[in-house]
Structure 1
Amino acid sequence: MSKLDALESWAGGLLARLAPAARRTATREIARELQRSQRARIARQRNPDASPYEKRKPRSKNRLRDKVGRIKRAAMFAKLRQTRYLRAESDARGLAVGFARRVARVARVHQFGEIDRVAKSGPDYKYPARVLLGFTDADREKIRDILLKHLAR
């Protein structure tokens, strides 16, 4: 049984004890908190196990293409972590935190380390796995605290 299955079975049992309205409120709060924590972790450029993301591949120096087509050395995934793309949805049956629209494909390639085209007519590249969505120990504790708070009401 994976950690996610264990968390789901434990949290599912507790959520089943709540009335539907209270369950909606609890799942909404958990989804928002998970969205916040995922956004902050992506901004820190860390995997859920606290290891840093693998750095970008260094570019060879080519004076003719110095400015055109360059890779920016700013933090990766700055736009992906915006609320517009990193979505949290919840209802009485469950919750989901994930990426929306076309950026979901980019996120999937990086999440699992898949092969994708660098540019529209460019070469294929095997991206290293950079886990964008995942549970940390702090996330599990926060979920537990939120559930216990709602159960105590």
Structure 2
Amino acid sequence: MADNILQVKTAFAQLLTNISAPRRRLLYQQIGRELARRQRRRIKAQQNPDGSAYEPRKQSKVRSKKPKNRVKDRMFNKITSPSHLKLKRNNNGLTLGFSGSDAPIANVHQYGLKSRVSDRLAFKVKYAQRELLGFTDEDIEMIEDYVIKALSDGLR
């Protein structure tokens, strides 16, 4: 993922200096909103940026007398809302990610790390890697299209 980000940054860094500051802020806002929308849609569809499906949750070994909770069948429902997946703009670009208590949870899933299942349990479990954030080929094309449009509008 870091290679994709570096590739996008280097490709457009020089071009973006030719765009006025107000137009660049608008460009960042447009790209950020569209990128956030695409990331949310992909996370809800439970797909990695390469198009592969997330590894399914492991079944709990604890028997429960309650009926199966359908809400937990879909992972990351809550975390995809705009209040959790934050878009931040600054002069140098934009940042899309998780903050607060969502960040450690997202980090564990993004990189497939070990974490405690709950505060009450002392043991740690290795989670499957599920890339929540990342660039797809379509995302890179969308960014290219926005930048090219901004450059062509700036030349008129």
Aligned pairs, how many?
151
Q: What's 1:143 paired with?
A: 143
Deviation per CA, 1:78-134, whole angstroms, max 9, x where unpaired? Answer: 000000000111133211000121111110010011111001121311001100000
Q: Secondary structure at the match of 2:39?
A: helix
Query: Counterpart of 1:10?
Result: 11
The answer for unaligned runs of 5 or more in structure 2 is none
CA RMSD of aligned residues (A): 2.0
Q: TM-score, normalised by structure 1?
A: 0.91
Partner of 1:121: 120
Counterpart in the other structure of 1:43:
44
* Stretch moving more, 99-108 or 70-79: 70-79
Range with bigger deviation, 90-99 or 125-134:
90-99
Extract unaligned runs of 5+ from structure 1.
none
* Percent of residue pairs identical: 36
Pair 106,71 (structure 1): closer, same or farther in 2 beyond 3 Å: farther
Please name the residue that 1:31 is paired with.
Answer: 32
Q: Whose helix fraction is larger, Structure 1's or Structure 2's?
A: 2
Q: How big is each residue's C-alpha offset from its partner over 1:40-84, in whole Å with a ceiling of 9 and x where there is no partner?
A: 00011000000000000122362xx3339x795421000000000
Q: Is the 8 A contact 1:28 1:91 kept in 2?
A: no
What letter corresponds to residue 112 of structure 1 in structure 2? Y
Range with bigger deviation, 84-93 or 132-141? 84-93
